[in-house]
Amino acid sequence: MIRELRCKSCGRRYIFVSTAAAPCRACGSALEEMELERGVYELASDAAPSAASPEPKAAADKMVPEDLGYGESHGYGPAHGGPTGPGDAPAPTP
């Protein structure tokens, strides 16, 4: 059995297939049965995260490349023209 339901508070629409009605997943209000209108609908499983609460970006998303001594910490800025990696630097004199 397919039932079309709409939340009375937030207006989100849901389709339940062979299951009892449940409260609105977004706001917890009661759902009312309604006629499904023509259009394109997105389907999501019970395990799908809610779009109302996106997860914060992790610190790894803002990761800065490690300075291995060939960057600004040792005087080699972007316009310096100095060595760019371990193979570019002159060998130390013993």
84 lies in some domain? no
Residue 27 belongs to a domain: yes
Residue 13 falls inside a structural domain: yes
Q: Is 57 helix (H, G, I), strand (E, B) or coil?
A: coil
pLDDT at 34: 75
Q: Is the pLDDT of residue 49 over 60?
A: no
Whether pLDDT at 9 is above 80: yes
Q: Does residue 6 lie in a domain region? A: yes
- Confidence band, pLDDT 50/70/90 cuts, at residue 76: low
> Is the predicted pLDDT of residue 30 greater than 70, yes or no?
yes
Residue 52 confidence (pLDDT) above 70: no
Number of structural domains (the chain) is: 1
- Does a structural domain hold residue 11? yes
Range of the domain at 20: 2-33
pLDDT classification of 50: cutoffs 50, 70, 90:
low
Task: Count how many Cα atoms sit within 13 Å of the Cα of residue 93 in the half-sphere of its side chain.
Answer: 0
